[in-house]
Amino acid sequence: MARALDLRGRGDGADRAFRGLAVGAATVVLVVLGLIAATMTRRALPVLEHMGPGFFTSTRWSPADEEFGALPFVWGTLYTAAIAIVIAVPVSLGVALFITQLAPQRLKRPLVYLVDLLAVVPSVVFGLWGILVLSPHLGRSFLTAGIILAIMIIPIITSLSREVIETTPQPEKEAAYGLGATRWEMILASVWPHSKGGLVGAVMLGLGRAMGETIAAALVIGSALGQITVDPLAPGNSMPAVIANEWGEADELHKSALIALAVLLFIITIIVNLVASSIVRRSMARTAGRRT
Amino acid sequence: MVATPASPASPASPASSKAPVTARPLHAAPVPVARPSAADMLSVAEPVFEIADLEVYYGKFRAVRNVNMTIRKHQITAFIGPSGCGKTTVLRCMNRMNDLVAGARVGGTLRYHGVDLYDPQVSATEVRRRIGMVFQKPNPFPKSIYDNVAYGPRLSGIRDRAKLDEIVETSLRAAALWDEVKDRLRDSALGMSGGQQQRLCIARTVAVEPEVVLMDEPCSALDPIATARIEELMRELVSRFTIVIVTHNMQQAARVSDTTAFFTAELDPSADRRCGLLVEFGATSKLFSNPQDERTENYITGRFG
């Protein structure tokens, strides 16, 4: 007598538990992010009511007169981050290409280790070094801050670029070498198209770090209020730096203004990241074989 | 014809009783395939590669030894043999592609038109422009079809648009691909089928006008119809190029090649590891119908052991 075929198996208890854990972890992150955004926005409202759109457009920041215009700090953040990127990207790509393409095997590991070591130096150390070594020549200025930020983001951009570049498949490199390409020509033909999406991502992560860096920037940027200038040697201020510098002595409205700055910084970094990921996605799609 | 049998203790000397294959006249070889002109060339064609006592090491590991052969102009030479026999290794030495492998080095000599390819004066880049390569897996650049073919000529400094257009067209025609792609030269090469991609890689190689085209199992990733097209293409291309092909497929070697080299892997007594070696080298028809070495016979009859 044949019994009914039993295909119920061992049950999927473990699978369900794993699923619950994964979904739970993902939810916690979202909830925390949501709470941060909600609290910060709520605390930022008083200054926005007080200043209106002027908060975003005014160039005057004078807590004593209850005048809070964020524009100089937005400028300082973007300008120092831009200086940092201009310096850090060529250096990082150069180091990454050297490590992956040129360095002899026995040099590779020490180099990787050295660059990664740069990433664990506390930012206050970079800031103090900037005061001691750069400020005597460059003053406390946009440029000094930009250079310090560049040094701080070089390890991030370098190690991400190195990993991206190393994923270039050997057959793609051999395609170029097989046609008589030199190493540099191979890098342009094989490594670059394969890696550019990831490299943009690496640069954007560096940019995010540079815009958000607080203490090093606060130490060397000069803490000048209301400076919007392209003069790299002028003292200025950035959003995170002004928050760190003024929080201690701020009254209620002033605190609200600093919180609003933080929200603004948050929004700007999110926009930068969204733009970056769309660039990465588009460039991936192109190399994956859609029409050029 | 039999290569000097394994005598790993001493490097094979040219004066030994069994002369290296390179010295043997090939005029006795019967017509290998229905292509009389090629048969004439078997005896008269000038040597392109003269390989003597070649051995290749990866670090301390000797991957292949005892390779002696002469590869002649406008012939298709097939390298066959089981996995690990060193056939791809030897092929990749012939355009210095093995330079890319850390720790790879060669012993013996590998002469190309009389020039030692491993002479320190020789530039690997220059070698690869003359000796092109088609790989196992089609590896077009993530660029348009046009830019793939124009890549090599652009490297050599050709910028003139009309000239490039002409090279692209003739190369694609040579690779029997022109009619399929002429209306979509600007499309990404990655959107093509595997067989088309491989023919594009052939077109790309042909575009730099090399003298030799090395093919490393060019059909192993392709279906039988695409394979047949590539084989047909090789027969056409051999009038312009010298072709060396590594293949796992004995029928393919028998179908397309004029000359065949059979490699096998044997225990290397000096290292206690398996090491590849050349067993037999000669006209394809002869090697398949009347192999001189028992190991060749066992392999081609399927009694490999």
ipTM above 0.85, yes or no: no
Mean pLDDT for A216-242 is 88
User: Cβ contacts (< 8 Å) between B149 and chain A: which residues?
Assistant: none
Predicted local distance difference test score (pLDDT) of residue B6 = 42
Sign, CA torsion B192/B195/B197/B203: negative
Give pLDDT tens digits for B19-29: 344 433 334 34
| C-alpha closest to that of B280 among B34, B91, B85, B105 | B85
Q: How far apart are CA A233 and CA A241, in angstroms?
A: 17
Give pLDDT tens digits for B139-185: 999 889 999 999 999 999 999 999 999 999 999 999 989 999 999 99
User: Cβ contacts (< 8 Å) between A194 and chain B: which residues?
Assistant: 142
Give pLDDT tens digits for B34-60: 444 444 445 567 899 999 999 999 988
Q: How far apart are CA B3 and CA A152, in angstroms?
A: 63
Q: Span B32-140+213-300: which CATH code?
A: 3.40.50.300
The domains found in chain A, sorted by start residue, are 55-287 (1.10.3720.10)
Would you list the domain boundaries of chain B? Answer: 32-140+213-300
User: Cβ contacts (< 8 Å) between B137 and chain A: which residues?
Assistant: 171
Q: How far apart are CA A225 and CA A63, in angstroms?
A: 11
Chain A and chain B share a number of CB contacts under 8 A equal to 79
Predicted local distance difference test score (pLDDT) of residue B39 = 47
One-letter identity of residue B231: E
If one counts every other C-beta atom within 10 angstroms of the C-beta of residue B38, the result is: 19
Give the H or E element holding residue A216.
helix A215-220
**Bigger pLDDT: B14 vs B219:** B219
Whether the CB of B204 is below 8 Å from some CB of chain A: the reply is yes
Q: ∠ CA(B273), CA(B276), CA(B279), 5° rounding? A: 135
Contacts of B148 (CB under 8 A, 6+ apart): B140, B141, B189, B200, B203, B204
The pLDDT of residue A40 is above 50:
yes
User: Cβ contacts (< 8 Å) between B133 and chain A: which residues?
Assistant: 174, 178
Mean pLDDT for B189-199 is 92
User: Cβ contacts (< 8 Å) between B97 and chain A: which residues?
Assistant: 174, 177-178
Predicted local distance difference test score (pLDDT) of residue B267 = 85
Mean pLDDT for A22-41 is 95
Q: How far is A124 from chain B (nearest CA, A)?
A: 42
Average pLDDT, chain B: 85
Q: How far is B168 from chain A (nearest CA, A)?
A: 15
**Bigger pLDDT: A51 vs A9:** A51
Q: How far is B128 from chain A (nearest CA, A)?
A: 5
| pLDDT grade for B193, boundaries at 50, 70 and 90 | very high
Residue among B91, B123, B129, B139 with most chain A CBs within 10 A, to mutate = B139
Give pLDDT tens digits for A156-210: 999 899 999 998 999 999 999 999 999 999 999 999 988 888 898 899 989 989 9
Pairing outcome for strands B47-58 and B212-216: unpaired
**Bigger pLDDT: A274 vs B245:** B245
Give pLDDT tens digits for B247-275: 988 999 999 999 999 999 988 777 778 89
User: Cβ contacts (< 8 Å) between B126 and chain A: which residues?
Assistant: 180
| pLDDT grade for A1, boundaries at 50, 70 and 90 | low
Whether the CB of A106 is below 8 Å from some CB of chain B: the reply is no
**Bigger pLDDT: B2 vs B117:** B117
| Residue B164 phi, psi dihedral angles, 5° rounding | -65, -45
Give pLDDT tens digits for B82-130: 988 999 999 999 999 998 888 899 999 999 999 999 999 999 999 999 9
| pLDDT grade for B33, boundaries at 50, 70 and 90 | very low
Q: How far apart are CA A55 and CA A70, in angstroms?
A: 6
Give pLDDT tens digits for A243-281: 999 999 999 999 999 999 999 999 999 898 888 888 777
Predicted local distance difference test score (pLDDT) of residue A286 = 60
Q: Which residue has the tokens 């991030």?
A: A156
Of A171, A288, A289, the CB nearest to B139: A171
Structure tokens that stand for B26 in this block: 């090939």
Structure tokens that stand for B232 in this block: 């047909």
Predicted local distance difference test score (pLDDT) of residue B102 = 83
Contacts of B118 (CB under 8 A, 6+ apart): B96, B106, B109, B110
Predicted local distance difference test score (pLDDT) of residue B10 = 41
Average pLDDT, chain A: 90
Whether the CB of A104 is below 8 Å from some CB of chain B: the reply is no
Q: How far apart are CA B247 and CA B91, in angstroms?
A: 11
Pairing outcome for strands B61-72 and B47-58: antiparallel
The pLDDT of residue B138 is above 60:
yes
Structure tokens that stand for A99 in this block: 């490590």
The pLDDT of residue A20 is above 50:
yes
Q: Tell me the CA distances in angstroms from B190 to A114, A153, B143, B148, one per residue in order.
A: 39, 35, 8, 10
The pLDDT of residue A222 is above 50:
yes
Mean pLDDT for A220-240 is 87
Structure tokens that stand for A81 in this block: 């981050």
**Bigger pLDDT: A105 vs A151:** A151
Q: How far is B14 from chain A (nearest CA, A)?
A: 33
| pLDDT grade for B14, boundaries at 50, 70 and 90 | very low
CB B208 to CB A193 under 8 A?
no
Whether the CB of A101 is below 8 Å from some CB of chain B: the reply is no
